[in-house]
Amino acid sequence: MAVGGVAIFPSDTVYGLACDPSHREAVTRLYALKHRTLDAPSAVMFFSLDLALGALAELSPKTRAALGRLLPGPLTVLLNNPAGRFPLACGSEPATLGLRVPALSPQLSALGALKWPILQSSANEAGEPAPTSIAQLDLALRSEVDLVLDGGPLGELSSSVLDLREYELNGGWELLREGPIGSDQIAAILGQNS
């Protein structure tokens, strides 16, 4: 990551592509591998909730408490980004940041040693199914990255996507993509959306 590399890695959901979110050449390369335009947003993944909360000092106590109840887990959370953090990951929406903190299984626990964030997106071309095993990876994609980490077979679904941009204002939230976590689970954690 530190020298602009792009890796394929296992998460708590599917296999992802990863690079340094501040390295323009690496981000451009990752997007080219996916055949995706740079204005499309990606998530920034931390392997510890404490690291994520430390990096996003502007988050309010209410949002921090919600994240503490939701993460780590198979969830991408959309947050307001008033500080304009990680602009390369935000694409054409600099006021919004996608945050991921995966729940690491014992076989993936070594990823917890990473103390810096990564820009991440599923390891597939845009519009194609996300791979849940190394065998499902596109061979051309696999040959173009610098590192492939095999975590064995993973789950069946990409992360759920939860919009928390209105949460601070009025407790509102919206589940934009249902994956391993559904609306009922979110409602049980946060209360009914408004």
Instruction: Answer whether residue 1 is part of any domain.
Output: no
Q: How far apart are CA 134 and CA 49, in angstroms?
A: 27
Per-residue pLDDT of the chain (194 residues; tens, 9 = 90+): 778 999 999 999 999 999 999 999 999 999 999 999 999 999 999 999 999 999 999 999 999 999 999 999 999 999 999 999 999 999 999 999 999 999 988 878 888 888 899 999 999 988 899 999 999 999 999 999 999 999 999 988 999 999 999 999 999 999 999 999 999 999 999 987 65
Instruction: Give the residue numbers spanning the domain of 68.
Output: 7-190
Assign residue 143 the CATH number of its domain: 3.90.870.10
Q: Show the tokens assigned to 33.
A: 């591998």
Instruction: Answer whether residue 51 is part of any domain.
Output: yes
Instruction: Answer whether residue 2 is part of any domain.
Output: no
- Cβ neighbors of 98 (< 8 A, separation 6 or more) are 41, 42, 43, 44, 76, 77, 78, 79, 89, 90, 161
